[in-house]
Structure 1
Amino acid sequence: MSNETYSDNVTRVIDLLKETFKETPFKAYFDDDPGDIAKFDLPAIIVSENSDVTSAGSMAQDDIEEQILIKVVFDKADDYKNDADERSNDTQRKLRKIVGERDSVTGDYLPQTIKGAIRTFGQLDLNEIADTMTTEYGVQPRDDGLMTIEAHVTFGLQYSVDIRH
């Protein structure tokens, strides 16, 4: 990736996810976790850059690997029925499908999944997606008594930058 065509990768991932999920119920997309998320903004997607490792490469280039984190956030209250404490796995099942649902015939990721979008992103230009993607699921207490159930997908994005002297 040359310096002339650089654009922020978090912004690019958000744009890709907005396009990928344009037919789904996501109400907000955030560049970094705002911490306090309003209930009316859920479900939401949050994209952050966790780290950036820069190494001297060959031929007057730096090799960069950014760790990108995508959070898919739902309101945990959606799992409760009739205000009772009866819990089900409905929301986590939705999260698992959004993260990596696969075609029942081919086994490929469906295009409207986080993993499908990430693999597409790696094919758009000179970026290369690192070999490993990790996904963690959990419940997160947020402000004002809001509890969210979230999927956190982390992946590396590798590219080179020209060094000009």
Structure 2
Amino acid sequence: MQDTTVTVHGRLVADPEICVGKSGQPYARFRIASTPRRPVQGQPGAYEDGDTSFFTVYAFRNLGANLVKSFRRGEPVIVHGRLRVREYQRDDKSYGTSVNIDASGAGHDLSWGQAAYEKVVKPSYGTGDRMDDAFDGEEPTEGQSDGSGSFGDPQRDDYLLAERPTDASTGPLVEEPAA
């Protein structure tokens, strides 16, 4: 099977949020908007915005934990990962399309500003997964395991809401309907 990988430049629509898959594994989710700018023909120095594309990005394990701690709404970012386009049916029986990216890498777009890198040392105990740090001591709500052993895979897992307070340091939480 061939995977389609993409690299998208855009801005965060909202702060990244922590979600928990049905298997109980936490992951980060955020949306970015990407709007191309084109020169206006016959008007040197003038530009116009094209159509805006929106992407939902999923990041797992340490990448997800680091993104929750690093990204904030409105910041310019670059995301690289596997593209997934899925059709779904709404409650009113109409159909919609979602465009998702399973991130393999992400960072700030440094053509718009500067960033400072901070190396994070993995703990020598437990699972070694930093997603627990992103909860600031709060544990996520446990998911219902389907026995598949999936690790927070949004294609197979129902989305549950992590129980933690919303504040400026961790971003908002948004409920996602169960699949």
More helix by share: 1
TM-score (norm 2): 0.25
TM-score (norm 1): 0.26
